[in-house]
Structure 1
């Protein structure tokens, strides 16, 4: 169960092109790979820690549980290439260009004056493009949420939102209004004075390119077949200083954790990654259980919801929103509190990568859901080799951070 001298083949796609790496280094991030190896420099290096969104790309993965392709915006600076096995990556170059044909997202941010220095523009485009792949007719709130992980120091965001909200059919009302009243234009009559020589429009929408789904890259059928076969075996990638193991099933994961109790488990790499990259923390071995189906299951129970520890915070947020919309208000107070916290927790890209189990175990005070989970009576199920534990059974063993060295969070149940 240990690392071997030769790495497995890493197979993924970039903008429709198949990539096969026979000696992939676990320490190489997707951002570095795109810019230096593939020479796709549209993705930018900004903060290097997942905070600015300049390196945003879209990853697409076939979900065997839902039997459909899922699209996510992610920070390429935090994504090891070895975590991309079976994934399709789309960069701004794969969306459109002046040499082929601009995508409507690219056209509208340009015509709405949403690009000034241009450094943040590729990331903005990719966040909006990913949103449209998931929701072809988004609301203004969908757009705002999609851009929460993208920073711009030039525009003040107004022209960016103005250009992108044309996809949702919103009026030209002030962003602070609700499209019917309380608009700044109504509050300042002098701005509404008619003048044939002065146009109140910053850009014209008549000649905008319509959304054309045929312009989008299709998900490679080869990756669908690979996803169905992937659960049968583990993957090992050996670098100069780091070995990366992706176990093939839950039993293998528990065996690995028993053999290497101090080894971190990494799925989103939003905590371990920055610590290694920016703080000099080193790990000779990393266990990556992203392919373990049991860790990604969401179940609706009679008295709550069960989330696998590998569920991303975005998946958790979407499921809570769905349940809140279906149940009466008195039954969803805990869910609403979690939704409020999740809405303020990092940006969209980080929520797409970070997991519930990782958030609980990292106990970062900036991104801590533990207080709400505790107050809401959340039940944790932890597993170790040959055993499955409820949180009440192990509470006397020690603090959570110490317990996680030998136990793995299997799932958590949020009570209503």
Structure 2
């Protein structure tokens, strides 16, 4: 029995939120899942969930308008500016389901069972305990065995997957889950997803009134800037760490945003050695040094969890990144800088960490050493940036001379550009620290450099105005196309999805030299 069209699909269609329709189902699925968990979201929250959805046709205005009609703060003024279509009243005759209904079979709602897939080429195992995991890893060659959780790395390193003969799914191991708070910080399980961590951090920041430049604020920024919501729902934080560690020596490096922030906030990582069975809690910095000295060590590692310290009120921690796109794009360079001052603005501790300079998160040690012990002020910046420039260029040259990037296609970013990004990040961190800690403040013409703009923008909005040309009717008229409902319900097939019949022909549009001409036969 047909119970009606999904309300999200209906709203999207009547607000003309489809054009070619190829991306439409993704928007509907994302919004439906979100409303099922959050029945009364705000317009701001609705905007934020689409950071991983891309549309190349509509310009997003009509999509976001349709979605925001579900918001708890959707107002009469919003409704007045919604730009209704001419045929909307008739479209209300369409049977619409009374609620967000995601048909999920009851039998599939049970806990995930362990799965074993054994065939001649590749195998899949699902251990339920750490002991089972250790036993599997000890019995199988590490270079053809891959631990997976959300398996999101397939989208980044698809060419690596054919070589793996065994995939070990760790979703069913309870010891790898959980987030807990102590007096000094938070413990985070290795299999915590990005979305779970982000939700926890958002609530913690709100409850404890933590500022964006706290260590927790710096971590939250990088978690939020990683991928898009769809990927964050599936990806684990330990899987992200292992991607960076396993691509230090070969393959395109993976400049993890979160790993840089964990390093910069002086976080600990809890690891288990497969062969010895020994557990240890070590600094991120120490783990990097061990892997650099013995690259084969990554095959003997199981990450169990992390400890993220709260830090103290005398420090400023700032995470930053630049990428080609806002989301779903790895960093060109990212950074986490932490500066702790005493009452006289003397630098007690400093940490300056980058990714994108080396194939693993890297500390600007010379710059740190020069800055430590000095009274922080603007006069330090000229000398500090000279030291940092020299240090960054040396690190870039070192890996280049080792031939690390010889087989990797260039992304088009010069070393000079990366160096300037690194300098600008440190410059902003110093300005921000002075803005927060110096009683004398910062000159007005420089203070804007320390502002944190990401995430602090208002709601997007747009109103379309146009002149109707009746002679083109129904073209140029605000009609709802019937295909919109089929597109929103996922009932449209595209030509590249359909097999070409034996007598079929391929065609392409070409530009006419005589538009609107009359053909005389």
Give the TM interval when normalised to the shorter protein: 0.5 to 0.7
Q: What is the CA–CA distance in structure 2 between the aligned matches of 1:395 and 1:306, rounded to whole Å?
A: 20
Counterpart of 2:235 in structure 1 is 354
Partner residue of 1:267 out of 149, 166, 173? 149
Partner residue of 1:136 out of 16, 39, 42? 39
Structure of larger gyration radius: 2
How many angstroms does 1:387 deviate by? 1.6
CA shift in 2, pair 1:312/1:139, >3 Å = same
Q: Which runs of 5+ in 2 are unaligned?
A: 245-252, 311-521
Q: Which runs of 5+ in 1 are unaligned?
A: 1-96, 180-191, 193-198
CA shift in 2, pair 1:116/1:214, >3 Å = closer
Q: Does 1:398 align with 2:311?
A: no
Contact 1:266/1:272 (CA < 8 Å) preserved in 2? no
Q: Does 1:413 align with 2:317?
A: no
How many angstroms does 1:281 deviate by? 4.6
How many angstroms does 1:294 deviate by? 1.2
Counterpart of 2:440 in structure 1 is none
Q: Does 1:370 align with 2:259?
A: yes
Partner residue of 1:157 out of 40, 53, 60? 60
| CA displacement, residues 332-377 of structure 1 (integer Å, 9 cap, x when unaligned) | 7112112222222211111111110011111254543122101111
Contact 1:266/1:286 (CA < 8 Å) preserved in 2? yes
Q: What is the CA–CA distance in structure 2 between the aligned matches of 1:395 and 1:249, rounded to whole Å?
A: 27
Partner residue of 1:286 out of 167, 191, 214? 167
Taking structure 2 as the reference length, the TM-score comes to: 0.50
How many angstroms does 1:211 deviate by? 7.2
The within-5 A match list for 1:6-405 is: 100-168=3-71, 169-171=73-75, 201-203=83-85, 212-213=98-99, 215-217=101-103, 220=106, 223-224=109-110, 226-227=111-112, 230=113, 234-260=114-140, 261-262=142-143, 263-272=145-154, 274-276=156-158, 278=159, 281-329=162-210, 333-363=214-244, 365-385=254-274, 386-392=277-283, 397-399=290-292, 402-405=296-299
CA shift in 2, pair 1:303/1:162, >3 Å = same
SS at match of 2:272: strand
| CA displacement, residues 218-239 of structure 1 (integer Å, 9 cap, x when unaligned) | 5615643x55xx4xxx532024
Q: What is the CA–CA distance in structure 2 between the aligned matches of 1:107 and 1:405, rounded to whole Å?
A: 50
| CA displacement, residues 140-191 of structure 1 (integer Å, 9 cap, x when unaligned) | 22212221111111111110000010100423768xxxx9xxxxxxxxxxxx
CA shift in 2, pair 1:153/1:402, >3 Å = same
How many angstroms does 1:201 deviate by? 2.8
Q: What is the CA–CA distance in structure 2 between the aligned matches of 1:281 and 1:414, rounded to whole Å?
A: 36
Deviates more, 1:300-309 or 1:158-167: 300-309
How many angstroms does 1:330 deviate by? 5.5
Contact 1:266/1:289 (CA < 8 Å) preserved in 2? yes
Q: CA RMSD in A?
A: 3.1
Counterpart of 2:370 in structure 1 is none
Deviates more, 1:369-378 or 1:234-243: 234-243
Q: What is the CA–CA distance in structure 1 between the aligned matches of 2:153 and 2:117, rounded to whole Å?
A: 20
Q: What is the CA–CA distance in structure 2 between the aligned matches of 1:217 and 1:294, rounded to whole Å?
A: 31
Q: What is the CA–CA distance in structure 2 between the aligned matches of 1:104 and 1:339, rounded to whole Å?
A: 33
Contact 1:275/1:281 (CA < 8 Å) preserved in 2? no
How many angstroms does 1:389 deviate by? 1.3
CA shift in 2, pair 1:411/1:279, >3 Å = closer
Q: What is the CA–CA distance in structure 2 between the aligned matches of 1:252 and 1:126, rounded to whole Å?
A: 36
Contact 2:16/2:63 (CA < 8 Å) preserved in 1? yes
How many angstroms does 1:275 deviate by? 2.2
